[in-house]
Structure 1
Amino acid sequence: MSKRALLTMFFIVHLSRYFYIYPVKMIEATSAGHWEPIIVGFLVELCCVWIFLKGLSAFPEKDIVDICKMASGTWIARLLLIPLLVFLFLNLNITHSYEMESISIFLLPKTPTYFILLLYVIPLYIAWKGYEAISRGGIVVFICVLPMVIFSLISAMSNFDFDNLYPIYETRLSFFKRPMFYSAFFAHSGFLFLGWVKMKRQFSFRQAAPILGILLIFAISSVYVPMLIFGQESIIYFRYPNVLTSDTVDTEWVVFDWLPTFFVIAMIAISMVEMAVTFWMMATLIEKLFLKKKRGIAVLLVGVLSYSFSCYLDNIDTLAKFSVLNTFLCFYSIIGIPLAIILMSLRYRRNPA
């Protein structure tokens, strides 16, 4: 697989997480200077990516499961990676429950949720075919859909009220005291899939850092574009701020009858790729840790459990309960796993045999 394909997937996996839950959490985390918690999150991810890539570079052509098994044995590998598996499972179902709900609200209002969730079959099938199939689909989505997302954001600029930008910064940095700031870190876990991609030479931090810089622009846009239109006082009550932002565009000059539908379809296409990546990661963990060479069973197990759990997540209170657990597991995954990998790499470099 080429480095360009890998960087494209790195971009798509992150982008899929910025336009639904992430802006809501950032808006609730602070009432001023929203760019501050966004930048803090990206700085933390930069450090985690550097540590992760540094650790992975010691183990060419090995994935995260192979590394843990080789360095510490099967049982320790299970203890280390089961919390990561639970995080991937919770994060996928919690984040995409909002997207499936948006399909129900904006596209298929009369269709029951359990029918809409059958869309999981698409990413499950792609995950079963393997990472090469996912990356090919990701490149097609990147070429076709990214211009749609950019168009949706730029078309809303005519409605900006720059008075809503103030106050620009918040000197007390009170967002550190708010749980919503920490729960938004799920958006910074997209780099973890690099631990599943076997390459002779891992791509360097110098290649990943510019992509994160571009993603920072999209993350800031996902928060500030709706806020510059509606203002802090109004947007705090919105569940889908970016979808509603598309609805403010004067459609007389747009070839599409209803721009929010256009935006939702574009984001769902990107999310399908991200879901396929996550299903593939979970299936690989289950297969290598528990079911040797039974990939079909692992994929089927992931699909059935995800569908059942998503049907269970039927209200905001239930989502909130699991979001707290997901936050703790998220920090374990984005900080603990990279630290464990780099410690294993240091030990391996000292004793390569």
Structure 2
Amino acid sequence: MDKNGYQATILYVVCHMGLIFFLYPSDMFSGMDMGHWIGISISYALHAAALYMYMKGLKWAAQRNVVDMFRSTGKYLAWILLLPAFFYFGIAIIVTLRAYSEMLTLVFLSTTPLWAVQLLLIAIGFLMAWQGMSSMARTGVLLVVLFMFPILFVLCLGFQNVDWYYLLPVIDPEQTLHFLAKPDFLVSLFVYAGGSFFLGLLPPSIHISIKKMMLGCLLLLPMFFLSVYLPLLTFGQATAELYQFPMLMTIDTVNITWLLFDRITIFFLLSLMAFALLYLGVTLWVLVTLTKEAIPKIPKIYLLIVLTAGLFAISLAIPNWNSLKNLQVWIIPLRMYIFLVLPLITFLIGWRHKHKANRATEVT
């Protein structure tokens, strides 16, 4: 039993680390031409505020999970509020599964069929979700011990070819906030949305510490900046925006003769893929948990099998990368709902529970 809140915090950090360095940089380069730190700061600040509101609402409500908390507003209203989350996490698994399969095929599995890579990834996610959240929380701790230092080591080596001239201008005198409405920038919020919803479904054995969770959120801030500014300082905006995976291209430029590995890109990719697989497992577990709450009579393993097979089949139906990008644009409303609206609703419901409890205490 984790009473200190470390496992929940590590799980939160690991899930985000599995997303930051892959899809996020290319979306930021497409959404902004310069002044990227402004977009990163705004989106990060919104995420930190949403995370705090979500955890505070959960703490005030003192319910077993977020589903029970929403049920207190009414049975049907609860599922109306949670149904968009169900659809979003299903699509998030499809996007992650297809994007990471494309990346693995591009880097070192060029002769392997795409469907085989997708099958392998979803199978690992299935096994993780099958073992349950307690097992995944312990796995998250193990992954941090094994891979965090090597990842930080590779990120430091990534500064080998930077040109600080590309940092200028730090801000355009004519900079506006119009980028906030650009689809590419809104797509970049994928890395923020959904990585903390599982906190409202954790079993009682895994404690949540708001202070440690906010500290974990703070530790992610330099990672967001590194994922964007390492490619930017290496290639410049004009070149970096042409790559599907700018961060991988940046690491591939590093030349280290004394290292055991010929290409540290593969080492970096495999390390982060371990985090991404845990994200797949956690997200699949969230889907199964929500479905089990809605259909309690069906055993969880059957729900897990059906959901896994369905998501795998849908991911195979995506014909190309452009279709995947279009799918990410189509779900922007769902993403904004998960990113901002759902934490706010949780906060308001929790505040209502606290207000009622205080009034009951005053009456007695």
1:273 corresponds to 2:274: no
Aligned match of 1:148: 150
Q: Distance in 2 between matches of 1:296 and 1:125?
A: 11
1:87 is matched with: 88
- Count of aligned positions: 352
Unaligned 5+ segments in structure 2 are none
Q: 1:70 to 1:294 in 2, by over 3 A?
A: farther
Deviation at 1:293, TM superposition (A): 5.1
Counterpart of 2:187 in structure 1 is 183
User: Which amino acid in 1 is paired with 2:146?
Assistant: C
- Kindly tell me: are residues 324 and 162 of structure 1, through their superposed partners in 2, closer, same or farther at Cα, counting changes over 3 Å? same
CA deviation profile, 1:238-271 (whole Å, cap 9, x unmatched)? 1111111121111312210111111111111111
* Residue 303, structure 1, aligned to residue 308, structure 2: yes
1:121 aligned to which of 120, 123, 127: 123
Inter-CA distance 5–136: structure 2 relative to 1 (3 Å threshold): same
Write the letter of the residue equivalent to 2:311: S
Contact 2:30 2:241 in 1 (8 A): yes
Partner of 1:320: 325
Distance 2:203 2:271 in 1: 30
Aligned CA-pair RMSD:
1.8
* CA offsets 1:132-151 (integer angstroms, 9 cap, x no match): 11111111111111122212
Could you tell me whether the CA contact under 8 Å between 2:8 and 2:207 is conserved in 1?
no
Whole-angstrom CA distance in 2 between matches of 1:59 and 1:8: 24
User: 2:288 maps to what in 1?
Assistant: 283
Instruction: Write out per-residue CA displacement over residues 169-226 of structure 1, whole angstroms, 9 at most, x where no aligned residue.
Output: 2332342242211111111121211111144896344322222221010010001111
Q: Structure 1 vs Structure 2: percent identity of aligned residues? A: 24
The separation in 1 between residues aligned to 2:81 and 2:177, in whole angstroms, is: 33
1:226 aligns with one of 231, 247, 250: 231
1:251 corresponding residue in structure 2: 256
Name the SS of the counterpart of 1:271 in structure 2.
helix
Counterpart Cα distance in 2 of 1:169 and 1:310: 40
Deviates more, 1:52-61 or 1:274-283: 52-61
The one-letter code of the counterpart of 1:15 is: M
In structure 2, what is the equivalent of residue 42 of structure 1? 44
Q: Measure the CA separation in 1 of the matches of 2:343 and 2:29.
A: 29
Query: 1:192 touches 1:334 (CA, 8 Å); kept in 2?
Result: no
CA shift, 1:109, in A, is 0.9
Partner letter of residue 79 of structure 2? R
State the alpha-carbon separation in 1 of the partners of residues 214 and 273 from structure 2. Answer: 26
For structure 1, which runs of at least 5 residues remain unmatched after alignment? none
Tell me which of 57, 64, 70 is aligned to 2:59.
Answer: 57
Is the 1:57–1:201 contact (alpha carbons within 8 Å) kept by the matching residues of 2? no
Deviation of 1:51 (Å): 1.3
Contact between 1:91 and 1:326, CA under 8 Å: does it hold in 2? no
Q: Which residue of 1 aligns with 2:109?
A: 108
Deviations 1:121-173 (A, max 9, x none): 11211111110111111111111111222122111212111111111123323
Following the alignment from structure 2 to structure 1, what is the Cα–Cα distance between the partners of residues 351 and 67?
Answer: 17
Partner of residue 77, structure 2:
76
- TM-score, structure 1 normalization: 0.94
Q: Is the 8 A contact 1:61 1:200 kept in 2?
A: no
Q: Structure 2 vs 1, CA of residues 136 and 204 (structure 1 numbering), >3 Å: closer, same or farther?
A: closer
Q: State the distance in 1 between where 2:32 and 2:58 align.
A: 36
Query: Residue 159 of structure 2 aligns with which residue?
Result: 157
Deviates more, 1:173-182 or 1:121-130: 173-182
**Inter-partner Cα distance in structure 2 for 1:347 and 1:176:** 32
- Give the Cα–Cα distance (whole angstroms) in 2 for the partners of residues 349 and 155 of structure 1: 49
Structure 1 residues 340, 292: closer, same or farther in 2, change over 3 A?
Answer: farther
